[in-house]
Amino acid sequence: MYPAQSSADPGGRRSSNFSDKTLPRPRKFVLRGFLSKLWGPPLYIICGQLMLQLATWGFFAYILSRRFLPLRDTATLDDWYKPLTWLCTQISAGLASLSCFLFALGVQQSIAFQLHGEGMPMPRLIVSLQIARRSFIGDLKNLKLVALSFAVMIATGAQTAGWSNLITPQFLNIKSSITGRELDLSSPLLQSTLPESTREFCVYNTSNLPALTVGQTESGFAAGNENQGFPTSVILLGQSFLTSTGGILPLTFVDVPLDSWFPDPTTLPAALSISGDLPSGLSSDYSITQQGYTADVSCTFQNLTRDSTPSLQVETKPLEDEDGNDSLLSNIIMSSDCNGPTFPDGSPFNSQSVDTIPGDGSGSILMIACGGSGGSYTLIFSGADLYSFIETMVCTLAPKTTKVRVDYSYDDSPNSTFIETLTHSGGSPDLGGPAGLSAVTTIYNMMYFSQGQQSNIVGDQLQSLILNGNLGDAASILPVMVGGIRDGNALLTVLKENYIRGVTEYSGSVFRACLSATGQDAPFLATGLPPNPDHPDERG
């Protein structure tokens, strides 16, 4: 060991060979100084990153709480899905780039603070710049830096995918079974225990309700257009059917108010239930096999007279005005001696009377009904003047119940439903059932209310259908335009297979709605229907 050396100065003080060092001053956090350094670009970086993260996680939490964010216009989404996906990807890439830019800018600001202060060792500076550039550090001697650089790469690189998954709309397909119940119109229990007041209202009065009369001619016209290749929708109880109602009653998961169509506060109760708890806001597509109502219709042109079977008499009587002078109006009465149903007041179906203006510029169509006891009805139509192309047409209408495949599409609202029906072949004849009588009543009243002083709505629609069916034949168009067509085959096809059948199916749907409606003041079910006159629907 070497002894420590010391020396004395002239004053007798001793001095050491060790030099004195200045100790660093202890650090102290000063809030004002810290905030002054944050003011400016650092504050913008922090606020930008904070706002971006709050928006991201806030939107994520909102969707998580709602389970999803429904979009109503799914048809547009389906048509523009690829361009929309591309746009969402570009937005996601932009948001991810903004986040990475703010991150890199924050690291650079931190490096600048240290370089202007205490300084920074070169290895640390290099590592910081690599982190700012989101580069991988492959220094196996420092695994912490390797893990840090790898975590930064994953976190920043996954942002585009995360944003894209968050904001790009997706189609969710949730499959579930559906069960439901509806009235069975072929049930003997329904027909035998139906109260007379209910029967009278639903059979005879529903065809006179103003809110339902428009759909009568619309349903026939839509069915005729379907035959011509021009699909047309029919509105029933606020729901849209493609070409025909099929004689079914729209079934829903919720109660539907019917105050706009039936008198007094009435409701169509929910008839469907679904397994599981599906979130609200989803647009739904489901298929059910329901009991429908239709008719086999056959029409022929016949020359009926007073002495034929059935007989036919048409009388025209001029009317007088208030002063006793002849007016332009005439009363036209068509009748037959055939047996037929009668209205509750005793007036028969085998006679019909209208007031119209006869002449070349006017026209009328009258209809009477016979039969009913054998399960079919005979409908006799007679057209005059503008509608003389109808001549005398005799149609046999045989109502029947059948199975109908019903495809529902709706957007979380019972009155935004689009329904498409497909009637299966076959069916069971409805022999003397109230639904068949309701259909004949509907057609009878439709023809009566369609007649105006100079024109008939049904006749105008038939002319339009015939014109649509002869668009490729110029020789057939001109007679239609002048009201003189006598192409029996074209009219027979329209009337036989479409118009009458469409009105019959519409009537069947209205009849079901009338029997199914409930309410404190409902004049039908309030009297009491059979407790279980229904059958389970088949799942689709």
Tens digit of pLDDT at every position of the chain (540 positions): 445 444 445 555 444 454 555 555 565 655 565 556 666 677 777 777 788 878 878 888 887 887 777 676 666 677 777 888 888 888 888 887 777 777 777 777 777 766 766 777 777 777 777 766 666 676 666 777 777 777 777 777 677 777 777 777 777 777 778 888 888 888 877 777 777 888 888 899 888 888 888 889 999 999 888 877 788 889 898 888 988 999 999 888 888 888 888 887 788 888 888 876 666 666 778 888 899 999 999 888 889 999 998 899 999 888 877 777 778 888 999 999 998 888 988 899 999 999 888 877 888 999 999 987 777 899 999 988 888 888 889 999 999 999 999 998 876 555 556 888 888 888 888 878 889 999 999 999 999 999 998 999 999 998 888 877 665 444 444 444 444 444 545 665 566 678 999 999 999 999 999 888 875 444 333 333 333 344 444 333
Check: pTM over 0.75? Answer yes or no. Answer: no
Distance CA 506, CA 513 (A): 11
The pLDDT assigned to 23 comes to 54
The pLDDT assigned to 200 comes to 86
The pLDDT assigned to 79 comes to 75
The pLDDT assigned to 30 comes to 56
Residue in the structure block whose two tokens are 């048409």: 314
Closest CA to 436 of 411, 412, 401: 401
Q: 3-class DSSP state for residue 393? A: strand
Pairing between β-strand 239-242 and β-strand 418-423 as defined by DSSP bridges = parallel
Closest CA to 398 of 504, 532, 321, 503: 504
The pLDDT assigned to 351 comes to 92
One-letter amino acid identity for 223? A
Instruction: At 297, give phi and psi (nearest 5°).
Output: -120, 130
Distance CA 9, CA 291 (A): 124
Write the DSSP symbol of residue 302: -
Distance CA 404, CA 417 (A): 17
The pLDDT assigned to 521 comes to 45
Distance CA 493, CA 229 (A): 13
Q: In 161-282, where do the E strands start and end? A: 178-183, 233-236, 239-242, 256-257, 267-268, 272-274
Q: Are 237 and 261 in contact (CB under 8 A)?
A: yes
